[in-house]
């Protein structure tokens, strides 16, 4: 059985692992670009939004405050719109509504980024697997070539080629991890901004 496994590893080699890593890298890059544009379109200055909504509410213009929130696709504005649409509810009801809205928005914001985390944590191991396959193939090639002056050159060349898979795995993993962490911080910031808007509107609802 071991000999069969060895023959299978020698036959496949490590080249397919490199192609797999390149494919993972391409998919990761596509996700990074798509999520970057997604989050850019939903960027909002929470201070400006809060001041605008507060000024309109103080001026007795809740409908205009609602229109401002509806005009923005950001999580913060959508939370504000949902609260303004349901100010007749109890504070407990508004709290539940806020949590449901944030969770729904978070699902949209976090779409696909789990793939980046998976690639970041597993790509080095995929590369290491390719290196192991390459080294196994190198020793198999050495055993068939036998001795000779070029024996060291053959094995060193094969091993150096095999180590490329580990390097590529790291090159794929590091940007994926950096992008995932960056997106996660951006999402957490949006959630924090949404809570600021909600707390301000809740305080106004309790005073009215």
Residues of the chain with pLDDT under 50: 2, 5-6
Q: Supply 12's token pair.
A: 């496949």
Per-residue CA distances from 136 to 83, 142, 154 (Å):
63, 10, 13
Rounded distance between C-alpha atoms, residue 21 and residue 86, angstroms: 49
3-state SS, residue 169: helix
How much is the pTM?
0.83
pLDDT attached to residue 144: 65
**Cα(94)–Cα(82) distance, integer angstroms:** 9
**pLDDT reported for residue 199:** 92
pLDDT of residue 137: 73
* Amino acid 135: pLDDT: 79
The pair of structure tokens assigned to 171 is 């090159």
- Maximal CA-CA distance, the chain: 92
Lookup: tokens for 207:
């005073």
Cβ atoms of residues 83 and 65 within 8 Å: no
- Say how many domains are in the chain: 1
Helices 151-207 and 91-109: crossing angle in degrees, nearest 10, is 160
Structural domain span for residue 176: 2-207
Token pair in block for residue 110: 């976090």
């Amino acid at each position: 059985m071991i000999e069969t496994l060895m023959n299978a590893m020698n036959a496949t080699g490590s080249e397919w692992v490199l192609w797999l890593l390149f494919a993972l890298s391409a998919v990761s890059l596509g996700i990074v670009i798509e999520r970057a544009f997604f989050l850019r379109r939903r960027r909002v200055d929470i201070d400006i939004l809060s001041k605008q909504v507060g000024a309109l509410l103080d001026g007795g213009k809740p409908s205009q405050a609602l229109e401002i929130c509806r005009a923005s696709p950001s999580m913060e504005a959508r939370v504000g719109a949902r609260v303004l649409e349901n100010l007749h509810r109890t504070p407990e009801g508004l709290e539940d509504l806020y949590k449901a809205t944030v969770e729904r928005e978070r699902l949209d914001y976090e779409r696909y980024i789990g793939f980046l985390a998976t690639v970041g944590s597993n790509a080095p191991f995929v590369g290491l697997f390719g290196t192991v396959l390459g080294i196994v193939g190198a020793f198999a090639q050495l055993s068939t070539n036998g001795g000779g002056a070029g024996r060291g050159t053959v094995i060193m060349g094969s091993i150096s080629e095999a180590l490329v898979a580990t390097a590529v795995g790291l090159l794929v993993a590091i940007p994926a991890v950096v992008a995932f962490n960056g997106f996660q911080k951006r999402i957490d910031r949006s959630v924090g901004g949404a809570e600021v808007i909600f707390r301000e509107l809740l305080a106004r609802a309790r005073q009215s």
